[in-house]
Amino acid sequence: MKAILFDQPGDEDQLYLAEVADPSPAPDAVLLHVAATALNRADLLQREGNYPVPPGANPILGLEVAGTVMELGSEVSGFEVGDNVCALVNGGGYAQQIAVDHRMLLKLPEKLSFTKAAAIPEVFLTAYQALHWIARLQASETVLIHAGASGVGTAAIQLVRLAGAVPIVTASGHKHEALAQLGAARCIDYRTEDFAEAVLDATAGKGADVILDFVGGPYLAQNMQSCATDGRIVSLAALGGARVQDFSMAPFLRKRIQLTGTTMRSRTDEYRQRLTADFRRDIWPYFADGPLQAVVDTIYDWADVAAAHRYMASNANVGKIVMTIGLD
Ligand SMILES: NC(=O)c1ccc[n+]([C@@H]2O[C@H](COP(=O)([O-])OP(=O)(O)OC[C@H]3O[C@@H](n4cnc5c(N)ncnc54)[C@H](OP(=O)(O)O)[C@@H]3O)[C@@H](O)[C@H]2O)c1
């Protein structure tokens, strides 16, 4: 089969298509013909040499796939050759074939295309985990979602609404209209507004019950200021840098704030399988019957992988950047 590889860490132009050995499924896995994958920031970091591949993970880029079952491992039940599925994977999405544990598979409803389905697993599972497993979101609570236009942000807005809670987002101003249409109750332009003041204003001084943060060090103090008493902050990335300066513990202690850091890729296979099982039960049906939707910004052919990576690095997207996998 063919896959997208790189030999040295570096820019987008390091990426090239090459012949690699076909994968073969373990007894509890299936072999998929990959129709589409989607980009994640982690792909850019890994390509740059800033995201070491965890032990046991597939070193090929790509954390999610949609495609068709080609072959079943000897212990797999509940799936057939020809089933269309999508899955969160631990690397290996930028390839024509991939072996995936059957416990990670989500069967596609009839009307869900491969390009939409490939845009779902990583960001919706991450947002679901952060909101429900970690932050224990309750109906009527307010959630501040930073980087609201990111893939994870656009998933989180929808899951917050589905839970009967209220999403407030930060994002560049020109993305606000799209985010309001997705369900954001208040959009804050972090470039021109003090987001902590805006959140306190929008919540009558109470603050957000849950905060999903992707910006990191520069936002920690303002997040504490924006957070309600007994609030939960889930820290998912450090897009603005990991170092914290001039930080007072006082609001953290006084408001009994819970701060949790997490990365999906460092989780065990068993954890990701349990998360997928809960997601399949609680959330997946809403993609068939509404109201959930994959938010796809742009679709690239995999021959244009360098352009796709450049586009993600430019921060222009609202939602996901998808890549179709060619047959040759
Ligand atoms: N921990 C986990 O398990 C996990 C899982 C998945 C993803 N992630 C992380 O979550 C983040 C979002 O991922 P994604 O793939 O959904 O991203 P994405 O679609 O590429 O979107 C990133 C958006 O963040 C905003 N942004 C970038 N730098 C910023 C900064 N310094 N300050 C404020 N906003 C900034 C930009 O939108 P604006 O135009 O609005 O600035 C940009 O479009 C990434 O950092 C990714 O690594 C973590």
DSSP letters of 98-122?
A: EEEEGGGEEEPPTT--HHHHTTSHH
Q: Where are the beta strands (DSSP E) in 60-179?
A: 64-72, 84-88, 97-101, 105-107, 142-145, 166-170
- Determine if ligand 1 sits within 6 Å of the CB of residue 41: yes
308 CB near ligand 1 (under 6 Å) = no
Instruction: Confirm or reject: Cβ of 215 under 6 Å from ligand 1.
Output: yes
Ligand 1 within 6 A of CB of 236: yes
* Residue 237 beta carbon below 6 angstroms from any ligand 1 atom: yes
pLDDT at res. 283: 98
pLDDT at 106: 98
* 185: nearest Cα among 164, 212, 213: 164
Q: What pLDDT shows up at residue 16? A: 97
Q: What is the SS3 assignment for 197?
A: helix
Ligand 1 centre to CA of 81 (Å) is 36
Q: Determine the CATH number of domain 123-262.
A: 3.40.50.720
Nearest CA to ligand 1 atom 45: 237
Token readout for 136 is 């224990």
Compute the distance from residue 43 Cα to the ligand 1 centre, in Å.
12
E strands, 148-247, are 166-170, 186-188, 208-213, 227-235
Query: How far is 278 from 128, CA to CA, in rounded Å?
Result: 9
CATH topology of domain 2-120+265-324: Quinone Oxidoreductase; Chain A, domain 1 (3.90.180)
Residue of the CA atom closest to atom 22 of ligand 1? 150
Q: Is there an atom of ligand 1 within 6 Å of 152 CB?
A: yes
CB 236 within 8 A of CB 152: yes
- Would you say the CB of residue 317 lies under 6 angstroms from ligand 1? yes
Residue 240's nearest CA partner among 159, 134, 308, 315 is 315
Q: Where in the chain is the domain with CATH 3.90.180.10?
A: 2-120+265-324
Q: What b/e sequence results for 8-24 when a residue is b if at least 16 CB atoms lie within 10 Å of its CB, and e otherwise?
A: eeeebebbebeeeeebe
**In ligand 1, which atom is closest to the CA atom of 123?**
6
Cα 8 to averaged position of ligand 1 atoms, centre (Å): 24
Q: How far is the CA of 22 from the centre of ligand 1 (A)?
A: 33
pLDDT at 289: 84
Is 149 close to ligand 1, i.e. is its CB under 6 Å away?
Answer: yes
37 phi/psi in degrees, rounded to 5 = -130, 180
Cα(144) to centroid(ligand 1), Å: 14
Report pLDDT for 72.
98
Residues 167, 160 contacting (CB under 8 angstroms): yes
Domain with CATH 3.40.50.720 in the chain: 123-262
Answer for the pair 297, 90: CB distance below 8 angstroms, yes or no.
no
Cβ of 324 below 6 Å from ligand 1: no
pLDDT by position in tens, the chain (length 328): 999 999 999 999 999 999 999 999 999 999 999 999 999 999 999 999 999 898 889 999 999 999 999 999 999 999 999 999 999 999 999 999 999 999 999 999 999 999 999 999 999 999 999 999 999 999 999 999 999 999 999 999 999 999 999 999 999 999 999 999 999 999 999 999 999 999 999 999 999 999 999 999 999 999 999 999 999 999 999 999 999 988 899 999 999 999 999 999 889 999 999 999 999 999 999 999 899 999 999 999 999 999 999 999 999 999 999 999 988 7
List of residues 6+ apart from 161 with CB closer than 8 A: 167, 183, 291
